[in-house]
Amino acid sequence: MSTVNPNPSAAMLVIGDEILSGRTRDANMYYLAGELTKLGVDLKEVRVVSDDKNAIVSAVRALSTAYDHVFTSGGIGPTHDDITADCVAEAFGVSIDVRDDARVLLAAHYAARGAEFNAARMRMARIPDTATLIENPVSIAPGFTVQNVHVMAGVPNIFQAMVASVMPTLTGGSPLLSQTYRIDSPESTVAEPLGDLAARYPDLSMGSYPFTQDGAFGTNIVIRGVSGAQVEAAMIELANLFPRG
Amino acid sequence: MSTVNPNPSAAMLVIGDEILSGRTRDANMYYLAGELTKLGVDLKEVRVVSDDKNAIVSAVRALSTAYDHVFTSGGIGPTHDDITADCVAEAFGVSIDVRDDARVLLAAHYAARGAEFNAARMRMARIPDTATLIENPVSIAPGFTVQNVHVMAGVPNIFQAMVASVMPTLTGGSPLLSQTYRIDSPESTVAEPLGDLAARYPDLSMGSYPFTQDGAFGTNIVIRGVSGAQVEAAMIELANLFPRG
């Protein structure tokens, strides 16, 4: 479908063996997709890669070149398999070490709780040069932004808190408006008239999502676009083509 | 983490605007990841792209070159936005048209239900030259395999049925064994001894997954490997390091 679209583009990079092995079901992609759509930033691609240096470095480079923003999830904790920060630094050719601003945040956090600020925890203060910190109100250890790459934790409630910290810094576009129309007929009956309708509205995207309910086939049609007037006009045509029973 | 691994590799390509817009939460990645792990095929990468010809063609080419198997999900229905079959044909430079074997399956299916075999439904019989069909016991319209790319529907129950059709045709490796140990301490306490342990078992992967429960921090450690004896030995060491309270 061709959609004239001036919105900023984005990609997401999910990092973690636990997703690829089927141990954990990713929750962050769905969350980020919804938040970006609300802001008018178009999520164009998601990649999931394992905790492997080459895989992470080359994905960061490819996605940061191709899209306006990249959001990563996972691999910034205190353990040996948390290599995301070092990989992002390498992808951009910047150095990385424990940085004072992050160290001070973490030291205060552990001091307040009477907990030891050990070497593993110190690892979470490793931040690439030139990066700006992303606030983490949940567990303090910050994310960071290098150029157009926003590096965030994988634990869903921390990921969501970091997304909330990043979103106000982004310039959104026109939020994509969306309306759904339910048709109690199988997709294969709907396809031809829908194709004709889509051809007459090249600036809208029309998706067709089949379902079965109580043994009967049905189709949800979702019409999306940045112009509310166009979405509305197309919905009226669609409703006329498939009047409710 | 370094893991000596002779298993076949795989990638997944999820095709669909509805995932990237946050309208639909993908269910197929989690399912396929679990099935491949059971079979001893290592899922190394997942990409999600929109219903866009260039995005699909280039992802199919990149993934089919880099991995032993590629599994796609979505975009093979009857509507105008279902362009996966044509894109896969283009990626491999093979022609595509309505093919007799698929047409016969669909014609019989619709005839048996007294339904019209219209042009939209005929679209689902478009199969690239040289492809072998993947059986779809749910709604008949087949998936297909071209070279190392297995093309399947996005609707979860149909996707799962097609995966069940494909799996017996694959040669698996050594299934990855996995054991989990729960430690009632935060990840940052566990990190250093775990890193030492991981260094002594280079053929195993050790992942650390923090959680919070009732306001307390805990960590699940997952040890994975193809050698049950090694996984067992490492688990015993881990249990000695962090005895249960």
Cβ proximity of B187 and A79 under 8 Å = yes
Q: What is the pLDDT of residue B72?
A: 98
Q: What is the pLDDT of residue B1?
A: 40
Q: What is the pLDDT of residue A5?
A: 58
Cβ proximity of A220 and A209 under 8 Å = yes
What is the band of B2 on the pLDDT scale with cuts at 50, 70, 90?
very low
- Please say if the pLDDT value at position A100 is more than 70: yes
Strands B96-98 and B126-128: antiparallel
Q: What is the pLDDT of residues B103-161, one digit of tens each?
A: 999 999 999 989 899 999 999 999 999 999 999 988 899 999 999 999 999 999 999 99
| Contact map slice: A 20-49 vs B, CB within 8 A | 20-26, 29-37, 42-49
Q: What is the pLDDT of residues A213-242, one digit of tens each?
A: 777 888 989 898 889 999 999 999 999 999
Longest dimension (CA), chain B: 68
Phi-psi region of B240 (alpha: psi -120 to 50; beta: other; left: phi over 0): alpha
Which ipTM was obtained for this model? 0.84
Q: What is the pLDDT of residue B5?
A: 58
According to CATH, the topology of domain B9-169 is Molybdenum Cofactor Biosythetic Enzyme; Chain A (3.40.980)
Q: What is the pLDDT of residue B144?
A: 98
Do the Cβ atoms of A222 and B18 come within 8 Å?
A: yes
Beta bridge partners of A10: A43, A69
Q: What is the pLDDT of residues B197-232, one digit of tens each?
A: 999 999 998 988 888 777 788 898 989 888 999 999
Which residues belong to CATH 3.30.70.600 in chain A? 177-241
- Please say if the pLDDT value at position B4 is more than 80: no
| Contact map slice: B 88-117 vs A, CB within 8 A | none
* Secondary structure in 3-state letters for A81-140: CCCHHHHHHHHHCCCEEECHHHHHHHHHHHHHCCCCCCHHHHHCCEEECCCEEECCCCCC
| Contact map slice: B 123-182 vs A, CB within 8 A | 123-124, 155, 176, 178
Q: What is the pLDDT of residue A21?
A: 92
Q: Choose the weakest-confidence range: A46-50, A65-69, A94-98, A207-211.
A: A207-211
What is the band of A209 on the pLDDT scale with cuts at 50, 70, 90?
confident
Q: What is the pLDDT of residue B68?
A: 97
Mutation site, A47, A140, A188, interface B, largest B CB count within 10 A: A188
Instruction: Round the average pLDDT of chain B to a whole number and report it.
Output: 92
Mutation site, B19, B20, B24, interface A, largest A CB count within 10 A: B20
What's the CATH code, domain A177-241?
Answer: 3.30.70.600
CA distance to A27, A75, B31, B74, per residue, from B27 (Å): 11, 23, 7, 12
The Cα–Cα gap between A170 and A174 comes to: 13
B86 touches chain A (CB under 8 A): no
More confident residue, B211 or A183: A183
* C-alpha closest to that of A186 among B77, B107, B98: B77
Could you identify the residue written with the tokens 């951009």? A92
The proportion of chain A whose per-residue pLDDT surpasses 90, expressed as a percent, equals: 76
Which residues belong to CATH 3.40.980.10 in chain B? 9-169
- Please say if the pLDDT value at position A184 is more than 60: yes
**Inter-chain CB pairs, A–B, below 8 Å:** 198
